[in-house]
Amino acid sequence: MPFNPIRLSPALAVAVLLLLPSPARADQGMWTFNNFPSAKVGQAYGFSPDQKWLDHVRLSSIRLARGCSASLVSKDGLVMNNHHCAHSCIEQLSTKDRDYVQTGFYAKEAKDEVKCPDMEANQLVQISDVTERVKAATAGKDGKAFSDALKAVEADIAKECTGGDNKTLRCDVVDLYHGGVYNLYKYRRYQDLRLVFAPEFAIAFFGGDPDNFEFPRYDLDVSFVRIYDNDKPLDSSANYLPFAKDDAKDGDLTFVSGHPGNTDRLDTVAEVEFARDVRIPATLLYLAELRGVLEQFSEQGPEQRRIADTRLFGTQNSYKAYKGQFEALVGPDLVKARRDDEAMLKAKVQADPQMKAEYGAAWDNIKAAVDHTKLIRDRYNMLETGRGFDSELFRDARALVRYAEESAKPDNQRLREYTDANFPAVKQGLLSTAPIYPEFEKTTLRFSLTLVQRLLGPDDATVKTILGSKSPADLAADLVDKTTLKDPAIRKKLLDDGPAAILASKDPMILFAKLVDADARAVRKDFEENVDAPLSKNSGLLAQARFKLYGTSVDPDATFTLRLSYGTVKGYDQKGGHVAPFTTMVGAFDRATGATPFKLPDSWLAAKASIDPAQKFDFCTTNDIIGGNSGSPVINKEAEVVGLIFDGNIQSLGGDFGYDGTVNRAVAVNSGALREALAKIYHADRVVTELGR
C-alpha cells in the first residue's frame, strides 16, 4: 500500500466521475461522508449508519498530510497509524547510535514522547458545498483563463474559510466527480505529533518486499503517536474509536474510514491507453532504476542502509503497486471493458443533438490533451515535479525561492502550494530538524540530474544551462558540499529575514534553484493550461453527460480526502486454492527463516511462550481501498476498532482502474493481535490501558 500515494506523473491526476452504466458491484465504493449509501448497506447487511454515527467516525478519523490515514483511539489524543506511515519520523529521530527503526520505540512515560520533526495531522471538521461559486467563476473559460480562474476562486474560498488562521485550520476546495461537485473541506490542523510507540521494523514489515501486497501476512505494521495541542495531549474525549473487546469474525461487516489517494476508474480510453503505454511503463522504469541505485547505496554499509531505508522501502512499494496496475492494464479485460463503455456513452451522446453539441467534442479534446502530455511530460517531470532534482536541499532551496517570489503576489494568484492556506505545510518542511545526509543527497541528486540529461537530451538548452561543463555527479557533489542549507537554523534565518534576503542569497543551492526556476515554471504553466485545464474541463463535461444518462448514486474517484468503504471479512481464491481471511500469531514463527526480511525481532523470540499462538494476527476484507488508505481503522457497527489497514493484496492494485470484489482485498492487522503484542511482547501497558473505552 503506497504510504505516500506518489503521483509521479500528474497527467492522470484527473478524477473523473464514477458513474457506471451497470450497477456498481457489491461492496464497491469509496464514499464521501456526505453521500454515504446507508440505505443500501442496510439492505445488504442489516445495519444503516446514521448521521450521528457518520459524524462520529469522521471526527475520529485523521489524515496525515504526507499521504496516510490514521485515527484517534483514546480520549487523550492517541493516534493509531501504520509503522510505515511514521517510518520517516522514526528514522529522523534515530541516529547512528540509537536506531529506533531497528529497535523499536516506546515512551514509558508521557515525558518520553518525542516530537516528530515534520508530521502533520488533519481532522475533517466540516464539509460544505461550493459548487455554484466555483462554476460561476470558471463559466465560459478555457485554457489559461480557466486555470487561473479556478485557482483564484479556490484560493479565495480557502482563505475565507480559515479566516487567516492557517496555524490551526486548513481548508481545501475538493473537486469531486470531476467538474461535477466542488466541496470545501475544513480541517483542524495539528503539527505537534509525538511518537509514543513503534515496534521493530523487522515485524512491522515482516516478509519485506517479497510479501508486500500479498496475503496471507504476518505484520504488526503499527505505530502510535499523540497529538499535542498547546503542549498538552489533545482532549479527544468527544470523538475517538475505542478498541473492540472481541476480534472480528469471518463474514463480519466492516467499515474502513480513510483517505484513498487516487483512482482513475472512468478515464477515457485515450487516458487509459496512455497510462498503459506511456505513463506507467515510464514510471516503472524510473522506479526500477532508482531502486537499483538505492539498493546498491544500502549495500555500502549499515549506516548507508539505515539512511536509505525509508526511501528504498517507498520505492519498492511504489514499484510493486505500479506493476500491479500495469498487469491489470495489459490483461485481457480492462481496456476492452473501457472501450465498450466509452462506445456506448458516445453513441448515446451522438444520438441526442443537444448532448452532442454540449459534450460531443470532449473525447477529442481529452485525446488532444493526452497527446500534448506526451510532448511535455518528461520535461514537466524532470524540471517541475522534482524527479530531476531529487534532493531535500534542492526542495528547501526551491521552496525558499518560490516563497520569496510568490509571497509578493496577491494570495489568489500564487502557485497553489504558496497560498496562505497551504504554505504552513511547506514551511514545516523548511523548518524540519530531520537530519540531512550529504552522501545520500549527492546520490539521489546525481541520479536525478543524469535523468534530466538523458530524458531532455544533451542539446536541450535547459540541460546546457544546468550542467555547463560539469557531469551530473560533479554538479551534485558541488552543490551539496557548498550549500549551507543543511543547517535548519540557516533555513529558519532566511525565512525570518524574508524574501529580499532569500533572493539576495549567494548560497549555491539557492542560486541553482533560481537558475532552473524560469524553465520549471514555464513547463508547469504549459502543463496546467494545456493538460490539466482541458482534462479538467472535458472530464467534467463527460461527467455531466453520465449524470444525465445514468443517474447519481455512485461514489467519486478517490482524491486523498476522507472516504468510508464498507465490506466484510472474507477470504478469496487464488492460484487454484482458497486463502483464508485470518492468519495467526504462531504463523509468523513458522514463516521465520532467520534472514531478513523473514527474521523476527528478539523481542518476539523471547516472548514466544507467553503469546497465544492461535491469536488472530492479520486479516483481509472486501473493503474497497487504495494507496493513501494506509493506517485507516477497520471498525465494526459499534464504531469500535477491529483492525488497522496496512496493505491491499496484489489483485487490489488494479483497483486504480476498477474494483473486482471476487479478489480485491484490503489487508489489516487484527486489533486483538495489536493488544496481545503491546501487552505481552512490548509491555506497553500505558498504551494498552488507553485503548479501552
* Residues at the site binding a second copy, with contacts judged by CB under 8 A: 207, 209-211, 276-278, 281, 284-286, 288-297, 299-300, 323, 326, 330, 443, 446-447, 450, 453-454, 457-458, 464, 467-471, 473-474, 593-596, 598
Name the grid cell of 505.
542569497
Q: Which is nearer to a second copy, 93 or 272 (CB)?
A: 272
Q: Which is nearer to a second copy, 243 or 274 (CB)?
A: 274
d(CA 235, CA 233): 6
d(CA 405, CA 143): 24
SS (H, E, C) 44-71: HHCCCCCHHHHHHHHHHEEEECCCEEEE
d(CA 456, CA 434): 33
Return the beta strands (E) in 464-594 as ranges: 563-568, 572-574, 577-579, 582-584
Residue-wise burial string across 57-92, b where 16 or more C-beta atoms lie within 10 A, e elsewhere:
bbbbbbbbbbbbbbbbbbbbbbbbbbbbbbbbbbbb
User: What is the H or E stretch that residue 543 is in?
Assistant: helix 533-550
Q: Which is nearer to a second copy, 40 or 323 (CB)?
A: 323
Q: Are 619 and 674 in contact (CB under 8 A)?
A: no
Closest distance to a second copy from the beta carbon of 315 (Å) = 10
Closest distance to a second copy from the beta carbon of 285 (Å) = 5
d(CA 146, CA 533): 7
Closest distance to a second copy from the beta carbon of 371 (Å) = 11
Q: What are phi and psi of 429, to 5 degrees?
A: -65, -45
Query: In angstroms, how far is CA 481 from the centroid of its own chain?
Result: 32
Q: Which is nearer to a second copy, 87 or 446 (CB)?
A: 446
Closest distance to a second copy from the beta carbon of 596 (Å) = 5
d(CA 460, CA 382): 13
Q: Which is nearer to a second copy, 142 or 371 (CB)?
A: 371
Q: Which is nearer to a second copy, 248 or 293 (CB)?
A: 293
Q: What is the CA radius of gyration of the chain?
A: 24
Residue with cell 498503459: 276
User: Is beta strand 114-115 parallel, antiparallel or unpaired with respect to 193-198?
Assistant: antiparallel
Give the CA count within 13 Å in the CB-facing half-sphere of 198. 32
Q: Which is nearer to a second copy, 289 or 420 (CB)?
A: 289
Name the grid cell of 557.
474517484
Name the CA dihedral angle for 593, 596, 598, 602, rounded to a multiple of 10 degrees: 80
Q: Which is nearer to a second copy, 97 or 590 (CB)?
A: 590
Closest distance to a second copy from the beta carbon of 651 (Å) = 15
Closest distance to a second copy from the beta carbon of 627 (Å) = 20
Q: Which is nearer to a second copy, 164 or 292 (CB)?
A: 292
Closest distance to a second copy from the beta carbon of 565 (Å) = 29
